[in-house]
Structure 1
Amino acid sequence: MRNLIAYFIKYPVAGNTLMALIMIFGWIGLQSWKKNFFPVSESRILKIEVVYPGSSPEEIEKGVVLKIEDNLRGVTGIEQVSSVSSENTGVITVEVQKKYNTDLVLQDVKNAVDRIPSFPDGMEPPVIYKQEGRNFAISFALSGDVSLTVLKKFAQKVESDLLAMDGLSKVALSGFPEEEIEIAVRENSLQAHDLTFLQVNQAVVNANLEITGGRVKGRNEELIIRANTKGYYADKFRDIVVKTTPDGRILRLHEVADVRDVWAESPNRNFLNGEPSVIIEVSNTIEEDILDITESVRNYMEEFNAENDVVKTTLVRDGSTTLNGRIDLLLENGIMGFILVLLFLAFFLHVRLAFWVALSIPIAFTGMFILGANSDVSINVISLFGMILVVGILVDDGIVIGENIYKKYEEGIPPLQAAVDGTMQVLPAVFSAVVTTGIAFSTFFFLDGRLGDFAPDMAFVVISTLAFSLVEGAFILPAHVAHSRALSKEAIKNKIELFFDRTMTWLREKTYAPLLKFSLNNWVLAVSFPLALLFITIGGLKGGFIRWTFFPAIEQDFINVELELPAGTRENVTEQVLLRIEEGALAVSDSVQAEREDGNPIIVNTLLKLGPATNTGKVEIRLLDAETRLMKSQNIANLIREKIGPIYDAEKLVFSISTPFGKPISVSLLGNNLEELEQAKEELEAELEKIPALIDIVDNDKQGPRELTIKLKEKAYLMGLTMRDVVGQVRQGYFGQEVQRLQRGLDEVKVWVRYPIDDRSSVNKLENMRIRTQSGLEVPFYEIADYEIERGIVAINHLDGQREVRIEADMGDPEVSASDVMTNVKDTILPPILDKYPSLSVAFEGQSKEQEKMKKSGSTVIPMILLLMLAVIILTFRSMWQAVIVFVTIPFAIIGVGWGHFLHGHAISLLSMFGVIALIGIMVNDSLVFVSRVNELVKKYHDFDKAVFEAGKSRFRAIILTSVTTVAGLTPLIFERSFQAQFLIPMAITVAYGMMVATYITLIVLPVFLIVLNRIKIMVNWLWTGKKPSKEEVEPAIIELKSENEALI
């Protein structure tokens, strides 16, 4: 290694060539590196969807879902199975364990479902698939003063145009129901012509067809026999012959039914700023670039609006905005950090030396770009997080190497020799520091849950960048420094450099040296002070004085208001309530706008979504960007909530600001005793209502619409009617019979035969419906059946085979820790409820589940990671106890982390933990260099106490510069007020304030610990051998030197 480093120093063209290759190939790699909003990893979610037209949730549960869930029990690799049984449909969601191949588990799931011997008659075959991994890219609305049919045709044309673009493959349309052909048969027409629904159905099937009848094989030509009377629109159905009367008259379909092209009876409608709209949403896969997609779509929107006057496009949301903002933040803070690093290094070393050290930032990044472009990692908000994180620690190795070379030169060693000796002296410690930091960040490759899905991107970026930083520091930096004017005899320091040089010397000799000497002589006092601070900090965390939460409230530019009214509510009622919410939001915007100096409204647009059920809907409110509006989205949501007032009949009204980890409070009650589930749910919700910090407490156990339960009278049985006969005829008239499916362009159109809507509009119509017996007689429904009106069920939820009622809530006060509230729920509220209802169990979902997954996987991975780090340090020092001492100093950094968050009003969170990993890497780096220097000086002086003291003075400048540049590089980010920075500030606080404390720990506490360790080893050795050794004889450096001398003999 020494010869290789000497070669690069002797021939600087080699280092320049290596640097040029890294930067050129890195730039090329950056151009081809894919961009996404979030990392797109392989999906581990499998879906089983079943459609059973006309069925109730109970029928779906008993006839379909329970059978599938039972057969899935033996499938290996399944982590969790949940299901929702609702009217006509059932959806089973299978979550696959991370260590299993999802495609293989998918095949096992398909085989398990195929083994089910039977499903109810009339159920469509189950659809089983792996949920595709994709990311939101951009969405826009298509609106205009035209009919919904015309709007849909425009939307389909836009969809076709977008899919024709390169690099764009996922487009979804919403805002219109499915198209259908309705054959609305009138009851009086059936009676007048002695017809049944069955006859009408059969007539349609027999007439509307396309069929081949064979071939006529002539002598010279074959003729294909074909009949094609198939129609795809309602007007082609109207003349279908239904019946021929005895008098020879032909009865056609339009004479007994209204045949129309209609929209399905579902309330799937969108309104952007009050205008009927179709929403077009574009997503990107892992192979597609979000920035390219959004740019292409925006250009298309401009061209479309320029060419069309009737219909226009309006942007709803652009996913690249956040990504571009994060990139801008990286560039701004990277440039600012680069300048600050350059300034501080120039002040305390030499301006040219500072430049070459700071150059490691772009070299390391471009090197990482080479690896990134050839991996599955993309540029996304998480990998950018890693880039911003690594900026704070990137120059540390360069500072250590550069400063040591400069120190060797100051001692009188020639420049080239100083570069070789200075590099080789600290390279083992620097190499170990990079390896230990890489091992620490590799933790994120092995975590479960959502964190385990996207954190590996951040770890990849950090490890790759540090690896190239090491290459640059070992081979390129020494060559540049050796041949720079910084090591030239002609280099004369200017007044500023002399001032800072004297300042550094004064700090070292007049401040640090006396403090270190005092601490070494009074080690109990020196250790007691930081130890007391550590216990106070832990107490602050335990007592809630320093706040902790799993995932902090991140400022966003969207507010989603979700509404659910009682089941059975008609869509026009739901629409009126949604309009009330929208009007309240706009009124808040107007009132705030009037008080703003810039006069800008805080709401850019509102999107009202009606559906998917008649009683549900949503208002999506897009806010002015956070940097401009200067109001928190949570505060705006609270103003809107106050403005609209209570909606008393709403079963769900939630102002949600989404996070990738789910709700902060999410509790699932599990059991098959429905009465106990209902009572426990009510008691838990009542307790949660007492917690002031919680808002929007909702559950998924909603009352269903009112149901008419049919019961036959004796007269029905006397007339030969069964329940199947009666309900079958009612179902035909009210639900309808799907007689055909037609492929009309891109749409699959269903053909329904049923009563007109007017004949289905009242209970009185049902009572007077004519029921036909097998003998052909007709009797009113009320003569052969009674009915009772009861409440039904909207949906039945299962979790791992048991019925589930999930209660969720949001945090209304961001100053209150969600973790503390959840701990209160687990330890205080739930135990008496579960004791009262012993048949029930509980599961925690949302953020609690993610936190538990992280803890479970981390409890296995982190000890192994720590052991590997310890092994690397032991191999570096060739001493286990010195490695342990380095590890013992790490927890003291919590002091800076905790009180830094307290001072800035932030809670310690998952984002802070990312910074802790980086902080550990920096601390280990400084500690390795310090202890390595102690071992060198012990060999040189053969005086342990002097070696520790001189090592402190020797490494003082390098450690101070490492800390100052790290803090300086992160300071602009800590005080950044942009929306993008809020996501990053906890990490920056962790590293910056942790480094302030770590500097004291490394320069004062670590030397004291080394002294204490030395005295303990002397005592143990004395007790063990009976002979008291000297301070130097128990030190690994002297033991190693003695072994080397003996080997030579």
Structure 2
Amino acid sequence: MRKLADLLLKRSLLFIVLIFTVSVVGVYTFLTIDQREIPETEVNLINVITAWPGADKDDIEENVTNIIETEMFSISDIEDVSSVSEDNVSVLTLSLSDGSTPDNVLNDVNNLVQSISGDLPENAAQPEVESITNAFPLLSYQIHSDSFENLEAVRGDVESLKQEIIQMNGVDSVTIKGYRESAYEIQLDWDALAEEQLNPNEIMNEIDLSLSPVILGQDVQDDEIIRLSFEDETALRTLEEVRIGEDRVPLLDVASIESVESTPEDIVQYNGEDAISFTVFLSSEEDVPSVSENVESVINDSFDNMPDNVTVDNISSERENVEDIFIGLYTSLLIAVIAVIIGTSIGLSLFGSITVMLTVLISIFIGLIPVPWMGVDLNQISVIGLIIALGILVDDSIVVNDNIERRFTLGDSKGDAIYNGVKEVAPSVIASTAAIVFTFSPLLLLSGANGDFIKALPSILISTMIVSTVLALTFIPAMRNVIPYKKVPKNPGLLGKAFTWGSKVYADKVLPKVLKRPVLSFLAILIVTLLSVGLVRFTPFEFFPEADRSEVTIDLIFNEGQTIQKTHEDTEEVLAHLLEVMDHVEGSSIFTGEGLPNLFGASLDQSGENTAQIALQIDKEKMSASATIDEYEAPLREAFPDAKIFMNTIIQGPPASAPITVEFFEEDLDTLSSEVAELTEQLENEGAIVTSSIGNPVDTLQYSIDYDALEENGISISQVKNELNMISEGIPMQEIIEDGSSKELSLKYADEFNLDNVDIVNIEDGRPETYPLSDFVTVSETEDTPAIQHKNGERTAELQVYSDDGANIESLISDYSNSLDGSTEVIVGGESSDQTDFFIEISILFSVILILVYLVIAFEFNSLVLPLIIVFSIFLAISGGIIGLFVTQTPISFLGIMGMVSLTGIVVRNAIVLIDFIEIRRKDGSVDDIYEAIYESGRARFKPIILTTVTSILALIPVAFSGDVLFEPLAVTVIAGLAFSTLLSMLATPALYYFYYKFKYGKKK
């Protein structure tokens, strides 16, 4: 070992140059690593969508959903299969298991869908398979005008811009909301058809043939290939020339061709004007600022050329959000660097503090090099990780440097001082670093969105800590070797005399009193620690806090069955009321239908013609988003009791589920619907707001076919169904191209023809016979849910419950569940359940952490008892963290819990360093008895322990006072935990070690 150390010292300058060179790579990584606001969360979901126009939900379930669903279970990497069967469409959502490769599963699903498509109904469309990505909005604009015709006039430009943006690097997709699609209907005159003795099938066949392309191919003349082409008329002109039947009856004699506006998916409004929403989504693993700048330059050029009667406003820019956040975080990081410089200067010599600071900064930069390969980018969590790392990394450097200087003061030569100084503390430094690594490693195993969210923190701390330890044991000795030998000041540092005085007081006055009454000292500390845990009940709780943003969103769910136009009118009334009572609204948008394009963390779990979202831009200086919600949500619900209203703002964390969810599993649809309706009524009577995954029952006209009458008159089922289609939605035909875009075409009876005045024509003995359609069809009024939901093949329904009295609601749900005596299974979950699952998981991981830390210390000291002394400091730190949160009334949160877990690895270092010195002195015989060994340990380790604690606290103070509600709990927890643990462990550790010594050896040494 000495030879290796001498080799390093001989080549100190070369080694230093090498380290600085490597750190340049780290600086480059820091400057070029992808930036985003929050960490990416992995979305392992695949949708399989199958359209079957005209089919009701029961037919969809039986003939589409069940067939596809059954086959999906054969793919091993699919963990869960959920489905929704609605009129006209089946949607399966496949959840992939952890560790699966999404691309491979996507290929398997595509192959499987193609193999079973022949088993689906003939009129059903080919299933569409799409992977749900975690792309999030990069930029969003509102294109608005006082006339929708003005917006239609620029539609081509907007569509062209979309195609241009999609092709740009880093862009996942572009969403345009608000434009209204038109279609063509061929509306048949049933009376005219009967007079001409024509039927709809003849018309459909003739139209299909007329619209089919002409395939001429090519010709050969005199060994020369001649291309053949056909000049066709427009589709509308072609339709006007269609002739049907033997008499060549013109289509227009029996029908009219009407352009109709399709039911819009979205109606968008901005500040009271008709608007079009244009949103660009970022691809995964892309840098927000660079991609945004490129996209903005193209968009701005395009929007600058818009007509004067069209205005474009940017309502969301992720680049601006990132820049605002990073300005604050980088400011905190810079302050933390300055704080650490000051912290090291107060207790180390000039050369020592310079060496420590260089080591810390280089550790940060080199530690960042592997971070991109660990799937981590630069975001809020990773920058906070760097700030925490700054406070922790100084520990190794301070301990090593301080011990080298201590050896100088003992009279060692330069080489011996460096070698002995490193050798004495190397085992404890390595052990404490291993403890930190083992503390944070299990956090990488945290599952789900919470694990993805926090991943950056342990990744950066592990990487930088390993580098810091290596540099503390190599770079610091090299630096101390190249510095010309100079006598170390008697009291190094700006507060050197204070540290010297403090170490004497601690070693000569405090420790003797502690060892004189070790039992009393330990019990006093233990009582304080246990009592502090009880403060949890008096400390606020907030799993993820609301962001300090100026956006407030309002989700609106109206009665099912109403049209999107009615929903939009109702939403306008809600917005008008808000603008009347709120004086701090600066802008407003309405998204009726599918809702916001995932802006501001707001999306509708279930959207339709009866749903809408309002996005408000508020002046948060007048009133914060959370205060706005607290003041206006309840009165708004009272003013509009027919709507289910939820006011939200951006949450700084993964999306959360409803506070309480209730899943029903029941095969009988009638039983399932009645139980869902019954519990919903009970919950709403208790003041809860309830939404359902299958929707609330809606008024339904149910058509029933009299099969006996069909058989008696020789009428086929297909004839009846065909006529019913013709008097309702019509029969879809091939799309037609107009002005470069495709439009749907359908064939139906004109609106004046219905069940009462349409006959079925049947040919008997070569003569047509007519029968009223109403002879074979009866209509009854009923109520029915609009969807059928499955989960892993079982029929299910889920209620999302929102209430201020969660305990009462959960009790009611439990009582109702217990009252069911049938085959229905009820599972209660939701946000509170998810949080409970998180605490269970983090408790398990924390237990693993304690075991790993214990094993590391046990290996270091070759003892099974000594680690227990050191682990006690962890409980002191957690108690201190709780006290800090209680005193400041900072909520216990997800990151507050992460702070307590972080303390586990951080605080054991002080106890390890203290006990390691005692053990060294006891074993080498340089002290007369155990008392002197403990006193000398306190004298030698007082300054590095206090100094490392002070610098760690100083590094986190900017975060604690930054006003960032996401990170305040973490900073407060670590600061209070460090301070509390350091002070009390300096008393408890010597007392516990004394017990250990007396128990093991039974006498003084």
Deviation at 1:3, TM superposition (A): 4.6
Distance in 1 between residues matched to 2:157 and 2:643, nearest whole Å: 36
Structure 1 contact 86–794 (Cα < 8 Å) conserved: yes
3-state SS in 2 of match to 1:982: coil
Residues 493 and 900 (structure 1 numbering): CA distance in 2 closer, same or farther, change over 3 Å? closer
Unaligned runs of 5+ in 2: 596-606
Question: Which residue of 1 is the match for residue 831 of structure 2?
Answer: 847
1:699 aligns with 2:692: yes
- Cα distance per residue 1:365-404 (max 9 Å; x no partner): 2213322345532223333343333233232222222222
Residues 687 and 355 (structure 1 numbering): CA distance in 2 closer, same or farther, change over 3 Å? farther
Distance in 1 between residues matched to 2:323 and 2:658, nearest whole Å: 28
1:291 aligns with 2:289: yes
Distance in 2 between residues matched to 1:453 and 1:511, nearest whole Å: 45
Distance in 2 between residues matched to 1:322 and 1:7, nearest whole Å: 51
Distance in 2 between residues matched to 1:212 and 1:865, nearest whole Å: 72
1:45 aligns with 2:45: yes
Structure 2 contact 48–92 (Cα < 8 Å) conserved: yes
Distance in 2 between residues matched to 1:527 and 1:687, nearest whole Å: 55
Question: Which residue of 1 is the match for residue 564 of structure 2?
Answer: 571
Distance in 1 between residues matched to 2:935 and 2:489, nearest whole Å: 31
3-state SS in 1 of match to 2:732: strand
Distance in 2 between residues matched to 1:686 and 1:634, nearest whole Å: 30
- Higher mean displacement: 768-777 or 829-838: 768-777
Structure 2 contact 554–646 (Cα < 8 Å) conserved: yes
Q: 2:904 aligns with which of 911, 914, 920?
A: 920
Residues 151 and 770 (structure 1 numbering): CA distance in 2 closer, same or farther, change over 3 Å? farther
Distance in 2 between residues matched to 1:371 and 1:215, nearest whole Å: 61
Q: 1:772 aligns with which of 761, 777, 780?
A: 761
Distance in 2 between residues matched to 1:691 and 1:16, nearest whole Å: 71
- Cα distance per residue 1:651-677 (max 9 Å; x no partner): 565646555242252323222155664
Distance in 2 between residues matched to 1:19 and 1:315, nearest whole Å: 46
Question: Which residue of 2 is the match for residue 670 of structure 1?
Answer: 664
Structure 1 contact 934–947 (Cα < 8 Å) conserved: yes
Structure 1 contact 586–603 (Cα < 8 Å) conserved: no
Deviation at 1:332, TM superposition (A): 0.9
Question: Which residue of 2 is the match for residue 173 of structure 1?
Answer: 176
Residues 37 and 344 (structure 1 numbering): CA distance in 2 closer, same or farther, change over 3 Å? closer
Q: Which letter does structure 2 place at the counterpart of 1:508?
A: S
Question: Which residue of 2 is the match for residue 162 of structure 1?
Answer: 165
Deviation at 1:56, TM superposition (A): 2.0
Deviation at 1:994, TM superposition (A): 0.7
Question: Which residue of 2 is the match for residue 350 of structure 1?
Answer: 349
Structure 2 contact 329–380 (Cα < 8 Å) conserved: no
Structure 2 contact 544–966 (Cα < 8 Å) conserved: no
1:786 aligns with 2:785: no
Question: Which residue of 2 is the match for residue 876 of structure 1?
Answer: 860
Structure 2 contact 433–465 (Cα < 8 Å) conserved: yes
Deviation at 1:279, TM superposition (A): 1.8
Deviation at 1:49, TM superposition (A): 1.6
Q: Which letter does structure 1 place at the counterpart of 2:153?
A: V
Distance in 2 between residues matched to 1:106 and 1:304, nearest whole Å: 36
Q: 1:1014 aligns with which of 994, 997, 1005?
A: 997
Deviation at 1:356, TM superposition (A): 3.0
Deviation at 1:474, TM superposition (A): 2.3
- Higher mean displacement: 177-186 or 915-924: 177-186
Question: Which residue of 2 is the match for residue 390 of structure 1?
Answer: 389
Question: Which residue of 2 is the match for residue 598 of structure 1?
Answer: none
1:751 aligns with 2:736: no
Distance in 2 between residues matched to 1:166 and 1:58, nearest whole Å: 44
Q: Which letter does structure 1 place at the counterpart of 2:532?
A: T
Structure 2 contact 506–939 (Cα < 8 Å) conserved: no
Structure 1 contact 181–749 (Cα < 8 Å) conserved: yes
Distance in 2 between residues matched to 1:849 and 1:962, nearest whole Å: 40
Structure 1 contact 557–633 (Cα < 8 Å) conserved: no
1:203 aligns with 2:206: yes
- Higher mean displacement: 435-444 or 654-663: 654-663
Unaligned runs of 5+ in 1: 594-601, 1019-1028, 1033-1049
1:738 aligns with 2:721: no
- Cα distance per residue 1:170-206 (max 9 Å; x no partner): 2222222445333333445434544332222222111
Aligned pairs for 1:510-659 (under 5 A) are 510=505, 513-541=508-536, 544-548=537-541, 550-590=543-583, 593=584, 602-611=585-594, 615-624=609-618, 628=621, 631-636=624-629, 638-639=631-632, 641-643=634-636, 645-650=638-643, 655=648, 657=650
- Higher mean displacement: 507-516 or 1002-1011: 507-516
Q: Which letter does structure 2 place at the counterpart of 1:66?
A: N
Question: Which residue of 1 is the match for residue 241 of structure 2?
Answer: 240
Structure 1 contact 637–655 (Cα < 8 Å) conserved: no
Distance in 2 between residues matched to 1:186 and 1:177, nearest whole Å: 28
Q: Which letter does structure 1 place at the counterpart of 2:932?
A: K
Structure 1 contact 733–755 (Cα < 8 Å) conserved: yes
Q: 1:907 aligns with which of 891, 896, 899?
A: 891
Q: 1:995 aligns with which of 972, 978, 983?
A: 978
Q: Which letter does structure 1 place at the counterpart of 2:800?
A: E
Structure 1 contact 603–621 (Cα < 8 Å) conserved: no
Residues 644 and 697 (structure 1 numbering): CA distance in 2 closer, same or farther, change over 3 Å? closer
Deviation at 1:423, TM superposition (A): 2.5
Aligned pairs for 1:716-731 (under 5 A) are 718-731=712-725
Q: 1:945 aligns with which of 912, 917, 931?
A: 931
Distance in 1 between residues matched to 2:37 and 2:820, nearest whole Å: 45
Q: Which letter does structure 2 place at the counterpart of 1:970?
A: L
Q: Which letter does structure 2 place at the counterpart of 1:952?
A: G
Deviation at 1:890, TM superposition (A): 1.3
- Higher mean displacement: 964-973 or 700-709: 700-709
Residues 651 and 197 (structure 1 numbering): CA distance in 2 closer, same or farther, change over 3 Å? farther
Distance in 2 between residues matched to 1:190 and 1:953, nearest whole Å: 108
Q: Which letter does structure 2 place at the counterpart of 1:130?
A: S
Question: Which residue of 2 is the match for residue 339 of structure 1?
Answer: 338
Distance in 2 between residues matched to 1:421 and 1:89, nearest whole Å: 76
Aligned pairs for 1:918-997 (under 5 A) are 918-938=902-922, 939=924, 940-941=926-927, 943-977=929-963, 981-997=964-980
* TM-score, normalised via structure 1 length: 0.86
Structure 1 contact 181–260 (Cα < 8 Å) conserved: yes
Question: Which residue of 1 is the match for residue 193 of structure 2?
Answer: 190
Residues 703 and 196 (structure 1 numbering): CA distance in 2 closer, same or farther, change over 3 Å? farther
Distance in 1 between residues matched to 2:80 and 2:829, nearest whole Å: 12
Structure 1 contact 242–251 (Cα < 8 Å) conserved: yes
3-state SS in 2 of match to 1:451: helix
Distance in 1 between residues matched to 2:648 and 2:371, nearest whole Å: 39
Structure 1 contact 10–416 (Cα < 8 Å) conserved: no
Residues 95 and 856 (structure 1 numbering): CA distance in 2 closer, same or farther, change over 3 Å? farther
Structure 2 contact 491–500 (Cα < 8 Å) conserved: no
Deviation at 1:829, TM superposition (A): 4.1
Q: Which letter does structure 2 place at the counterpart of 1:162?
A: I
Q: Which letter does structure 2 place at the counterpart of 1:767?
A: D
Q: Which letter does structure 2 place at the counterpart of 1:25?
A: V
Deviation at 1:109, TM superposition (A): 4.7
Aligned-pair Cα RMSD in Å: 3.4
Q: 1:1004 aligns with which of 987, 996, 1003?
A: 987
- Higher mean displacement: 719-728 or 792-801: 719-728
Deviation at 1:945, TM superposition (A): 2.8
Deviation at 1:546, TM superposition (A): 3.1
Residues 277 and 558 (structure 1 numbering): CA distance in 2 closer, same or farther, change over 3 Å? same
Deviation at 1:811, TM superposition (A): 7.0
Residues 747 and 267 (structure 1 numbering): CA distance in 2 closer, same or farther, change over 3 Å? same
Residues 167 and 92 (structure 1 numbering): CA distance in 2 closer, same or farther, change over 3 Å? closer
Structure 2 contact 387–956 (Cα < 8 Å) conserved: no
Q: Which letter does structure 2 place at the counterpart of 1:318?
A: S
